[in-house]
Protein backbone atom coordinates (compact mmCIF):
# COMPACT_ATOMS: atom_id res chain seq x y z
CA UNK A 1 0.00 0.00 0.00
CA UNK A 2 1.40 3.37 -0.99
CA UNK A 3 1.39 6.37 1.33
CA UNK A 4 -1.36 7.93 -0.78
CA UNK A 5 -3.53 4.80 -0.49
CA UNK A 6 -2.91 4.67 3.27
CA UNK A 7 -3.97 8.29 3.58
CA UNK A 8 -7.16 7.61 1.63
CA UNK A 9 -7.96 4.63 3.87
CA UNK A 10 -7.46 6.62 7.06
CA UNK A 11 -9.58 9.48 5.74
CA UNK A 12 -12.37 7.05 4.80
CA UNK A 13 -12.23 5.54 8.30
CA UNK A 14 -12.44 8.99 9.87
CA UNK A 15 -15.43 9.90 7.69
CA UNK A 16 -17.13 6.61 8.58
CA UNK A 17 -16.60 7.26 12.29
CA UNK A 18 -18.08 10.74 11.93
CA UNK A 19 -21.04 9.32 10.03
CA UNK A 20 -21.60 6.70 12.74
CA UNK A 21 -21.63 9.36 15.47
CA UNK A 22 -24.15 11.40 13.49
CA UNK A 23 -26.34 8.34 12.97
CA UNK A 24 -26.24 7.47 16.67
CA UNK A 25 -27.17 11.08 17.48
CA UNK A 26 -30.15 10.90 15.10
CA UNK A 27 -31.35 7.63 16.65
CA UNK A 28 -31.11 8.99 20.20
CA UNK A 29 -32.75 12.30 19.28
CA UNK A 30 -35.55 10.44 17.54
CA UNK A 31 -36.08 8.10 20.49
CA UNK A 32 -36.17 10.97 23.00
CA UNK A 33 -38.36 13.14 20.73
CA UNK A 34 -35.66 15.81 20.51
CA UNK A 35 -36.22 18.57 17.96
CA UNK A 36 -32.58 19.15 16.88
CA UNK A 37 -33.16 17.66 13.45
CA UNK A 38 -36.89 18.38 13.45
CA UNK A 39 -38.17 19.03 9.95
CA UNK A 40 -35.29 17.11 8.30
CA UNK A 41 -36.85 13.66 8.66
CA UNK A 42 -38.59 12.77 5.38
CA UNK A 43 -40.95 10.26 6.99
CA UNK A 44 -44.52 11.36 7.70
CA UNK A 45 -45.41 11.09 11.37
CA UNK A 46 -48.07 11.93 13.91
CA UNK A 47 -47.10 12.34 17.57
CA UNK A 48 -49.63 12.52 20.40
CA UNK A 49 -48.37 13.11 23.92
CA UNK A 50 -49.41 14.01 27.41
CA UNK A 51 -47.20 15.01 30.33
CA UNK A 52 -47.50 15.97 33.98
CA UNK A 53 -44.89 18.08 35.76
CA UNK A 54 -44.72 18.39 39.54
CA UNK A 55 -42.47 20.66 41.61
CA UNK A 56 -42.95 21.54 45.30
CA UNK A 57 -44.14 25.10 45.83
CA UNK A 58 -45.22 25.49 42.20
CA UNK A 59 -48.49 24.83 40.40
CA UNK A 60 -48.47 21.38 38.79
CA UNK A 61 -48.43 21.33 35.00
CA UNK A 62 -50.57 18.94 32.98
CA UNK A 63 -50.58 19.26 29.20
CA UNK A 64 -51.40 17.36 26.03
CA UNK A 65 -49.93 18.11 22.62
CA UNK A 66 -49.95 16.99 19.00
CA UNK A 67 -47.30 17.15 16.25
CA UNK A 68 -48.00 16.30 12.61
CA UNK A 69 -45.35 16.28 9.86
CA UNK A 70 -46.05 15.30 6.24
CA UNK A 71 -44.32 15.72 2.88
CA UNK A 72 -46.48 17.39 0.26
CA UNK A 73 -46.91 15.42 -3.00
CA UNK A 74 -44.95 16.17 -6.18
CA UNK A 75 -42.23 18.12 -4.31
CA UNK A 76 -39.55 15.37 -4.05
CA UNK A 77 -39.94 15.52 -0.24
CA UNK A 78 -38.57 19.07 -0.20
CA UNK A 79 -41.79 20.78 0.88
CA UNK A 80 -43.20 19.74 4.25
CA UNK A 81 -46.13 20.77 6.38
CA UNK A 82 -45.47 20.71 10.13
CA UNK A 83 -48.34 21.36 12.55
CA UNK A 84 -47.91 21.48 16.33
CA UNK A 85 -50.41 22.37 18.99
CA UNK A 86 -51.26 22.21 22.67
CA UNK A 87 -54.49 20.24 22.98
CA UNK A 88 -54.71 21.20 26.63
CA UNK A 89 -52.47 23.11 29.04
CA UNK A 90 -52.77 24.40 32.60
CA UNK A 91 -53.66 28.11 32.66
CA UNK A 92 -51.36 28.64 35.63
CA UNK A 93 -48.25 28.13 33.49
CA UNK A 94 -46.90 31.51 32.37
CA UNK A 95 -44.38 31.99 29.56
CA UNK A 96 -41.32 32.35 31.81
CA UNK A 97 -42.17 29.11 33.59
CA UNK A 98 -42.61 27.26 30.29
CA UNK A 99 -39.26 28.58 29.02
CA UNK A 100 -37.59 27.44 32.23
CA UNK A 101 -38.94 23.92 31.79
CA UNK A 102 -38.06 23.73 28.10
CA UNK A 103 -35.64 21.03 27.09
CA UNK A 104 -32.19 22.34 26.17
CA UNK A 105 -31.04 22.62 22.62
CA UNK A 106 -34.46 23.09 21.05
CA UNK A 107 -34.56 26.73 19.96
CA UNK A 108 -37.11 26.21 17.19
CA UNK A 109 -39.68 24.68 19.55
CA UNK A 110 -41.82 27.57 20.85
CA UNK A 111 -43.10 26.24 24.17
CA UNK A 112 -45.49 29.16 24.61
CA UNK A 113 -47.36 28.56 21.32
CA UNK A 114 -50.78 26.97 21.59
CA UNK A 115 -50.78 26.30 17.83
CA UNK A 116 -48.18 26.51 15.06
CA UNK A 117 -48.26 25.56 11.37
CA UNK A 118 -45.21 25.81 9.10
CA UNK A 119 -44.52 25.18 5.45
CA UNK A 120 -40.84 24.25 5.21
CA UNK A 121 -38.92 24.03 1.97
CA UNK A 122 -35.56 22.25 1.96
CA UNK A 123 -33.19 24.42 -0.07
CA UNK A 124 -30.07 22.31 0.57
CA UNK A 125 -29.67 18.90 2.13
CA UNK A 126 -26.90 16.31 2.41
CA UNK A 127 -25.03 14.49 5.19
CA UNK A 128 -22.98 17.58 6.01
CA UNK A 129 -25.52 20.41 5.89
CA UNK A 130 -29.16 21.37 5.69
CA UNK A 131 -30.83 24.67 4.84
CA UNK A 132 -34.57 25.21 4.93
CA UNK A 133 -36.82 28.21 4.52
CA UNK A 134 -40.12 28.40 6.30
CA UNK A 135 -43.28 30.45 6.44
CA UNK A 136 -46.03 29.84 8.93
CA UNK A 137 -48.61 30.86 11.48
CA UNK A 138 -48.43 31.04 15.29
CA UNK A 139 -51.46 31.33 17.57
CA UNK A 140 -51.05 32.11 21.28
CA UNK A 141 -54.36 32.16 23.03
CA UNK A 142 -56.55 33.63 20.29
CA UNK A 143 -53.94 36.00 18.79
CA UNK A 144 -52.52 34.92 15.40
CA UNK A 145 -49.11 35.95 14.09
CA UNK A 146 -47.32 35.28 10.81
CA UNK A 147 -43.73 34.05 10.81
CA UNK A 148 -40.97 33.51 8.26
CA UNK A 149 -37.40 32.34 8.73
CA UNK A 150 -34.32 30.35 7.75
CA UNK A 151 -32.68 27.42 9.53
CA UNK A 152 -29.17 26.17 8.75
CA UNK A 153 -27.37 23.11 10.10
CA UNK A 154 -23.75 22.06 9.38
CA UNK A 155 -21.85 18.95 10.50
CA UNK A 156 -18.12 18.31 10.95
CA UNK A 157 -16.28 15.23 12.22
CA UNK A 158 -12.85 16.22 13.63
CA UNK A 159 -10.80 13.37 15.11
CA UNK A 160 -13.56 11.08 16.30
CA UNK A 161 -15.93 13.83 17.42
CA UNK A 162 -19.18 14.90 15.81
CA UNK A 163 -19.77 18.66 15.67
CA UNK A 164 -23.14 20.11 14.65
CA UNK A 165 -23.78 23.85 14.29
CA UNK A 166 -27.41 25.01 14.07
CA UNK A 167 -28.50 28.59 13.38
CA UNK A 168 -32.04 29.89 13.06
CA UNK A 169 -33.35 33.36 12.27
CA UNK A 170 -37.07 34.21 12.32
CA UNK A 171 -39.29 37.23 11.95
CA UNK A 172 -42.74 37.26 13.51
CA UNK A 173 -45.39 39.92 13.07
CA UNK A 174 -46.08 40.15 16.82
CA UNK A 175 -42.56 39.74 18.27
CA UNK A 176 -40.21 40.92 15.54
CA UNK A 177 -36.87 39.23 14.91
CA UNK A 178 -35.33 36.38 16.89
CA UNK A 179 -32.13 34.38 16.47
CA UNK A 180 -30.92 31.14 18.06
CA UNK A 181 -27.63 29.31 17.72
CA UNK A 182 -26.15 26.24 19.35
CA UNK A 183 -23.27 23.84 18.78
CA UNK A 184 -23.34 20.15 19.67
CA UNK A 185 -20.04 18.41 20.42
CA UNK A 186 -20.70 14.66 20.37
CA UNK A 187 -18.68 11.53 21.11
CA UNK A 188 -19.08 7.84 21.95
CA UNK A 189 -16.89 7.18 25.02
CA UNK A 190 -18.03 3.53 25.14
CA UNK A 191 -20.22 1.19 23.12
CA UNK A 192 -23.46 1.90 25.00
CA UNK A 193 -22.78 5.54 25.91
CA UNK A 194 -23.19 8.78 23.98
CA UNK A 195 -21.89 12.14 25.22
CA UNK A 196 -22.97 15.62 24.11
CA UNK A 197 -21.90 19.13 25.17
CA UNK A 198 -23.93 22.10 23.92
CA UNK A 199 -23.25 25.82 24.28
CA UNK A 200 -26.17 27.92 23.00
CA UNK A 201 -27.31 31.53 22.73
CA UNK A 202 -30.64 33.15 21.89
CA UNK A 203 -31.96 36.66 21.26
CA UNK A 204 -35.47 38.02 20.79
CA UNK A 205 -36.33 41.55 19.69
CA UNK A 206 -39.25 42.03 22.09
CA UNK A 207 -37.19 40.91 25.11
CA UNK A 208 -34.34 42.91 26.59
CA UNK A 209 -30.90 41.32 26.60
CA UNK A 210 -30.16 37.78 25.49
CA UNK A 211 -30.11 34.24 26.92
CA UNK A 212 -27.29 31.72 26.76
CA UNK A 213 -26.32 28.48 28.41
CA UNK A 214 -24.20 25.34 28.52
CA UNK A 215 -25.64 21.84 28.52
CA UNK A 216 -24.06 18.43 29.05
CA UNK A 217 -25.74 15.05 28.57
CA UNK A 218 -24.70 11.42 28.77
CA UNK A 219 -27.06 8.85 27.25
CA UNK A 220 -26.84 5.19 28.24
CA UNK A 221 -28.40 2.41 26.22
CA UNK A 222 -29.95 -0.09 28.65
CA UNK A 223 -31.62 -2.33 26.10
CA UNK A 224 -33.03 -2.45 22.62
CA UNK A 225 -35.85 -0.01 23.48
CA UNK A 226 -34.70 1.45 26.81
CA UNK A 227 -32.46 4.48 27.33
CA UNK A 228 -31.37 6.58 30.29
CA UNK A 229 -30.14 10.13 29.79
CA UNK A 230 -28.36 12.23 32.42
CA UNK A 231 -28.11 15.99 31.83
CA UNK A 232 -26.66 19.07 33.53
CA UNK A 233 -27.66 22.51 32.24
CA UNK A 234 -26.51 26.03 33.12
CA UNK A 235 -28.85 28.82 31.96
CA UNK A 236 -27.93 32.52 31.98
CA UNK A 237 -29.57 35.77 30.88
CA UNK A 238 -28.27 39.32 30.54
CA UNK A 239 -31.47 41.10 31.63
CA UNK A 240 -32.54 42.72 33.89
CA UNK A 241 -28.97 42.14 35.07
CA UNK A 242 -26.46 39.56 33.92
CA UNK A 243 -26.80 36.45 36.04
CA UNK A 244 -27.48 32.75 36.40
CA UNK A 245 -31.10 31.76 35.83
CA UNK A 246 -30.73 28.17 36.95
CA UNK A 247 -28.59 25.07 37.24
CA UNK A 248 -30.66 22.01 36.43
CA UNK A 249 -29.72 18.36 36.98
CA UNK A 250 -32.05 15.88 35.30
CA UNK A 251 -32.33 12.18 34.45
CA UNK A 252 -34.70 10.94 31.75
CA UNK A 253 -35.64 7.26 31.61
CA UNK A 254 -37.56 6.40 28.44
CA UNK A 255 -38.75 3.11 27.01
CA UNK A 256 -41.42 1.65 24.76
CA UNK A 257 -44.62 0.37 26.36
CA UNK A 258 -46.72 -2.49 24.94
CA UNK A 259 -45.90 -1.49 21.33
CA UNK A 260 -42.84 -0.07 19.58
CA UNK A 261 -44.74 3.17 18.87
CA UNK A 262 -45.85 3.88 22.46
CA UNK A 263 -43.30 5.58 24.74
CA UNK A 264 -43.30 6.15 28.49
CA UNK A 265 -40.90 8.50 30.25
CA UNK A 266 -40.04 9.44 33.82
CA UNK A 267 -37.76 12.45 34.33
CA UNK A 268 -36.80 13.40 37.90
CA UNK A 269 -34.87 16.64 38.22
CA UNK A 270 -33.16 18.81 40.81
CA UNK A 271 -32.83 22.57 40.39
CA UNK A 272 -29.57 23.37 42.13
CA UNK A 273 -29.58 27.18 41.85
CA UNK A 274 -31.37 30.19 40.40
CA UNK A 275 -31.07 34.00 40.52
CA UNK A 276 -31.81 34.00 44.25
CA UNK A 277 -28.88 31.72 45.01
CA UNK A 278 -28.85 28.07 46.02
CA UNK A 279 -32.21 26.48 45.31
CA UNK A 280 -32.30 22.74 45.92
CA UNK A 281 -35.81 22.22 44.51
CA UNK A 282 -36.74 18.73 43.28
CA UNK A 283 -39.23 18.06 40.50
CA UNK A 284 -40.45 15.24 38.31
CA UNK A 285 -42.16 14.86 34.94
CA UNK A 286 -44.18 11.92 33.66
CA UNK A 287 -44.78 11.61 29.92
CA UNK A 288 -46.74 9.24 27.69
CA UNK A 289 -46.44 9.51 23.90
CA UNK A 290 -47.63 7.66 20.81
CA UNK A 291 -45.81 8.06 17.48
CA UNK A 292 -47.49 6.89 14.27
Confidence band of 38 (pLDDT split at 50, 70, 90): low
Rounded Cα gap, residues 31 and 56, in angstroms: 29
State residue 101's pLDDT score. Answer: 47
Rounded Cα gap, residues 151 and 171, in angstroms: 12
Q: Pick the more confident residue, 125 or 5.
A: 125
Report CA torsion sign: 145, 90, 208, 204.
Answer: negative
> For residue 23, is pLDDT > 90?
no
Q: How far is CA 106 from CA 34, 58, 101, 184, 257, in A?
A: 7, 24, 12, 12, 25
Please state the domain extents for the chain. Answer: 3-291
What is the arithmetic mean of pLDDT over 268-277? Answer: 83
Q: Pick the more confident residue, 104 or 250.
A: 250
State residue 77's pLDDT score. Answer: 81
List pLDDT tens digits, range 102-136: 544 343 444 445 889 999 999 998 878 999 999 99
State residue 18's pLDDT score. Answer: 52
The answer to whether 152 and 130 are in contact (CB under 8 A) is yes
Nearest to 229 by CA among 247, 242, 215, 217: 217
State residue 59's pLDDT score. Answer: 58
Mean pLDDT of all residues belonging to the chain:
83
State residue 16's pLDDT score. Answer: 44
> For residue 68, is pLDDT > 80?
yes
Instruction: Give the CATH H-level superfamily of domain 3-291.
Output: monomeric porin ompg (2.40.160.40)
Q: Do the strands 226-237 and 210-223 form a parallel or antiparallel pair, or are they unpaired?
A: antiparallel
pTM for this predicted structure? 0.82
State residue 278's pLDDT score. Answer: 72
Element (H, E) at 38: none
Which range (36-50, 75-89, 111-125) has the least confidence?
36-50
User: Residue by residue, what is the 3-state secondary structure of 51-112?
Assistant: EEEECCCCCCEEEEEEEEEEECCCCCCCEEEEEEEEEEECCCCCHHHHHHHCCCCCCCCCCC
CB neighbour burial string for 180-197, b if at least 16 within 10 angstroms, e if fewer: bbbbbebebeeeeebebe
Rounded Cα gap, residues 56 and 184, in angstroms: 32
List pLDDT tens digits, range 198-226: 999 999 998 889 999 999 999 999 998 99
Amino acid sequence: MTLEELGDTLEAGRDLLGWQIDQVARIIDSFFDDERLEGEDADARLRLGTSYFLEPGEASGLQADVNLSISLPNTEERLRLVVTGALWRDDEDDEDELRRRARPGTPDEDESSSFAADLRYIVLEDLEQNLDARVGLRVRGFVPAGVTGLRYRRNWDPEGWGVRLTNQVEWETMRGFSADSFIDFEARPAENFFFRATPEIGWQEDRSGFDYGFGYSLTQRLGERRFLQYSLDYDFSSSPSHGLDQILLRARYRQTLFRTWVFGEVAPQFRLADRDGLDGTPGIEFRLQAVF
